Structures are given as C-alpha cells and as structure tokens.
C-alpha cells in the first residue's frame, strides 16, 4: 500500500506578482517548508486578475516577471527537500478564476495576450502544452462577486473542492459539482501571507514527491494523490458523500 505523505500546496500567492500578496516568494517558500510541505505551486494572479505586474510592460517582460518569482523561490529551495512549481491563477471573467499548472516560460512567451483568450481557447492552449486546469473556488461568495453566475467547468481537469478561505457550504457545493461532472478534485490554501492560517491545512498529498512540473501534472492527471483538508489526509471524493 502506498503511503501518501508528501504535502504540496496547490494555490499560493506572493507580493511580487499578486497585488494582494504580502510576502516575497522566498518568504512564502520558507513558510511552507517550515510547515512540513514537500512542495508548493506559486499561482499568482495572472494579468486579468489582481496582478502586481505592470500591465504596460511588453509581453515578454511581464511573462519574465512571473517566471522570476518562481525562480526566486526555487533558488531559495535549493539543497532542501522542497520543490517549487510554477502556475498561475487566471481570471477569466465574472469573478471566476482557473488554477493553471504545468506551463512554463516558453509557453507564456509563445502566447502573447494569453489572458485575453476566450476561456475555451485558453484551456485548449494549456492542454496542448500538457498543462492541467483546476477551477478555483467555483462558488466563492463575496460582496464583490455575482454568486448567480455559474462556473464554466466544461474544459477543466479538476475543481478546487476545498479552498481554505472559502466558507464550508461553498466548498461543499464545489464537491457536489465535482461529483456531478466526474472531474478530479484539488485542495488549496490560497495563502497570501506567511503568517496565515492555511499552512498545514490544505493542498494535495502524494505518495512520491514530484520534482518538476511534468511529474506533478502526470500524478494529478493519473489521480494518484489525496487531499489535505484541515490537516487531514482524505480521499479525492471529499465532501461528495
Ligand atoms: Zn489574491
Ligand atoms: Zn488565489
């Protein structure tokens, strides 16, 4: 029997590329490392969302800003049993966002104005590059969001069924949608600060720790992982009972 013990954060922000982030990539990496994680994906807000990147810069400079953030955390992690992976949280409209994994700088440079693509085209481009998509907090309700607009999950690989900062009924609605659609599930802390409460309480758990974005996506695609929900390791159908 496999031992699912390697914790990875699936959803995190830094102040280099997220306007709502409070800490540098190195500080966030250190916080996850100290909290016992084996890895993390940095998923800063992409250009249509709450980015900290200057939108007036040329495309290449903007994409290098995202990549530099990831590389800074990666450099911090060198020599440690800790894997930093690259992702973005792409805002596609109506208060809805999609967590995007398994893409790299070459992909970003090859797709100018990626953030302006209609969602199906965005998803197709990511999939063509071998990437993986999880719909972030599909039922988050907040004063600034229109809760009546349904999430578009048609082109997703997964649904973020547990988001640490969501309210429980919103997470359970997401789990019900995963059951209905048969999509995979993910869990994320959505942490924006290194003293936050999500550390240890969200993410996915692997039996073998993926070292790079490719290994990471293939384990996700194979469904070879469990979820971390409030510090407990649970099955992927969490909340679907
Ligand atoms: Zn944010
Ligand atoms: Zn987020």
Residue 168: count other Cβ atoms within 10 Å of its Cβ.
Answer: 9
Query: How far, in Å, from the CA of 98 to the mean position of ligand 2?
Result: 9
Q: Tokens at residue 203, please? A: 């993410």
> Which ligand number lies closest to the CA of residue 191?
2
Output the six-digit token pair for 183.
């999509």
**Within a domain: 220:** yes
Tell me how far apart the alpha carbons of residues 129 and 127 are, in angstroms, rounded to a whole number.
Answer: 5
User: What separation in Å is there between the alpha carbon of 2 and the centre of ligand 2?
Assistant: 30
Tens digit of each residue's pLDDT (9 = 90 or more) over 232-241: 999 999 999 8
Residue 192 lies in a domain: yes
Tokens (6 digits) for 151: 């999430």
Distance (angstroms) between ligand 1 centre and the Cα of 37 equals: 21
User: Does a structural domain hold residue 83?
Assistant: yes
Mean pLDDT of the chain: 96
90 within 8 A of 98, measured Cβ to Cβ: yes
Nearest alpha carbon to residue 51 among 95, 16, 100: 16
pLDDT digit string, tens, across residues 66-95? 999 999 999 999 999 999 999 999 999 988
pTM for the full model?
0.96
Looking at all shown ligands, the one closest to residue 134's CA atom is 2
Which residues pair with residue 228 across a beta bridge?
203, 233
Domain assignment present for residue 199? The answer is: yes
Ligand found nearest the CA of 99? 2
- pLDDT tens digit string along 93-117? 988 999 999 999 999 999 999 999 9
Residue 1 lies in a domain: no
Q: Tell me the residue range of the domain where 42 lies.
A: 6-234
Ligand 2 midpoint to CA 240 (Å)? 23
The reply to whether 240 falls in a domain is no
For 76, list phi and psi in degrees, rounded to 5.
-60, -35
Residue 160: which CATH number? Answer: 3.20.20.140
In a domain, 239, yes or no: no
CA–CA gap between residue 12 and residue 5 (Å, rounded): 20
Looking at the CA of 192, name the nearest ligand: 1
Which string of DSSP letters, residue by residue, matches 173-209?
HHHHHHHHHT-EEEEE--B-STT-S-TTSEEEEESS-
Residue 241 domain-assigned (yes or no) = no
Q: Could you say which ligand is closest to the alpha carbon of residue 21?
A: 1
With contact defined as beta carbons under 8 Å apart, do 11 and 163 qualify?
yes
**Distance of alpha carbon 207 from alpha carbon 209, whole angstroms:** 7
Angstrom distance (rounded) from CA 52 to CA 29: 19
Expressed in angstroms and rounded, the spacing between residue 72 Cα and the centre of ligand 1 is: 19
Q: Identify the nearest ligand to the CA of 89 by its number.
A: 2
- pLDDT for 148 beyond 80: no
User: Residue 189 C-alpha to ligand 2 middle, in angstroms?
Assistant: 8
Distance 85 CA to ligand 1 centre (A): 18
Ligand approaching nearest to the C-alpha of 12? 2
What's the structural domain count of the chain? 1
The Cα–Cα gap between 8 and 84 comes to 9
Distance (Å, whole) CA 204 – CA 39: 10
């Amino acid at each position: 029997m496999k031992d699912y013990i390697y914790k990875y954060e699936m959803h995190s922000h830094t102040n280099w590329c997220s306007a709502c982030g409070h800490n540098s990539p190195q500080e966030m990496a250190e916080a996850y490392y100290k909290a016992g994680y084996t890895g993390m994906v940095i998923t800063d807000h992409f250009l249509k969302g709450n980015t900290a990147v200057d939108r007036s810069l040329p495309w290449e400079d903007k994409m290098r800003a995202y990549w530099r953030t990831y590389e800074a955390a990666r450099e911090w992690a060198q020599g440690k049993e800790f894997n930093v992976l690259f992702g973005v949280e792409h805002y596609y409209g109506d208060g809805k966002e999609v967590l995007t994994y398994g893409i790299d700088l070459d992909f970003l440079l090859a797709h100018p104005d990626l953030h302006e693509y209609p969602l199906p085209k965005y998803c197709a481009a990511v999939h063509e590059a071998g990437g993986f998509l999880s719909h972030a907090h599909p039922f988050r309700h907040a004063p600034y969001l229109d809760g009546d607009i349904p999430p578009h999950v048609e082109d997703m690989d997964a649904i973020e069924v547990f988001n640490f900062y969501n309210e429980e009924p919103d997470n359970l609605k997401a789990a019900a949608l995963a059951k209905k659609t048969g999509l995979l599930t993910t869990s994320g802390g959505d942490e924006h600060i290194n003293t936050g409460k999500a550390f240890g309480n969200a993410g996915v758990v692997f039996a073998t720790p993926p070292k790079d974005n490719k290994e990471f996506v293939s384990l996700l695609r194979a469904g070879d992982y469990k979820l971390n929900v409030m510090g407990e390791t649970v099955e992927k159908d969490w909340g679907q009972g």
